[in-house]
Amino acid sequence: MKVIEVAKLLGVTADTVRFYTRIKILNPTKSKANGYREFSDKDVKRLRFVLSARKLGFSVEDIQEILSHADKKKTPCPTVRRLIDQRLHETEERLAETLKLKERMQRAVLEWNQKPDKEPTGHMLCHLIEEFSVEE
């Protein structure tokens, strides 16, 4: 299969297929007739795995580590468990920060709707932001 065929089959862009080829997650052969990359069913299966792992929050580096174990015929399961725990923790932290930001923004909206507009001066650009108290 050619790049565009793999992309269509998996519902991704050709650039996505090329990216994973460039970083050596996929290793297509080159056609002797025209020099085009030819992707095997194994490449398609591998890219499908990568796309699933990405949807679970694994980074490209995580996936390379997982595939390294699998390519050496070693179980990647302990690594997968460790990495998903790390990604979950990071996601929980980002979520908490996002919720704090949402609360600050909601408070700003309520506060700023009660304040008048002011022209900038040499000492102030926007009084709404400058007078807003960011409490953590």
Q: Where are the domains of the chain?
A: 1-55
Q: Each residue of 31-49: pLDDT tens digit?
A: 888 888 999 999 999 999 9
d(CA 118, CA 100): 28
The pair of three-digit structure tokens given for residue 117, joined into one six-digit string:
């507009």
**What kind of architecture, by CATH, is found in domain 1-55?**
Orthogonal Bundle (1.10)
The pLDDT score that the predictor gives to residue 123 is 85
Q: Model-level pTM? A: 0.79
Query: What's the Rg (C-alpha) of the chain?
Result: 24
